[in-house]
Amino acid sequence: MSIKQISVFLENKPGKLSEMTALLAANNIDMRALSLAETNDFGIARIIVDDIYEAANVLRNASFISKFSHVLAFAVPDEPGGLNKLLNVFNEADVNIIYMYSCLGSNDPSRAYMIFRVTDTKTAEAALVAHGLKPLTQEEITEI
């Protein structure tokens, strides 16, 4: 099952990321995962939060440009080769990973949590499930 992430477009200027995180904090929105990519003129903060719809409303009301995307979240064994095993399943299914990033987690120290944006979400998810891996739901990702 895919989860929703918010991509927030930020001017590439000092303080813009802090402005976004302060806004979320002031509205009691907890970030569970964050990735930041940049170009010369703007950056994209990709975030997973505990209340996606409230976050989207708060950001929109503060004139931030944002959009939803569907991503996959999986727990990966926190051991040498754990991620590689999962990546091999993507390869076998011929699914390209557009980007990926890690997510903080505290429920199970033997696992790392990874977020994947892929070219074919349904095929990737089916292949990973067929290999015994369970995707995290929106609720589970906000609880780790």
Which CATH code, of 3.10.129.10, 3.40.50.300, 3.30.70.260, 3.10.450.50, is assigned to 71-143? 3.30.70.260
What does pTM read for this prediction? 0.86
pLDDT at position 16 over 80 = yes
For the chain, how far is it from start to end, CA to CA, in angstroms?
Answer: 17
Between 112 and 73, name the one with better pLDDT: 73
| d(C-alpha 74, C-alpha 62), whole Å | 32
With a CB cutoff of 8 Å and minimum separation 6, the contacts of 80 are none
Tens digit of each residue's pLDDT (9 = 90 or more) over 32-57:
999 999 877 889 999 999 999 999 99
Tens digit of each residue's pLDDT (9 = 90 or more) over 92-128:
999 999 999 988 666 677 778 899 999 999 999 999 9
Between 107 and 11, name the one with better pLDDT: 11
CATH number of 3-69: 3.30.2130.10
Boundaries of every domain in the chain: 3-69, 71-143
| d(C-alpha 72, C-alpha 81), whole Å | 20
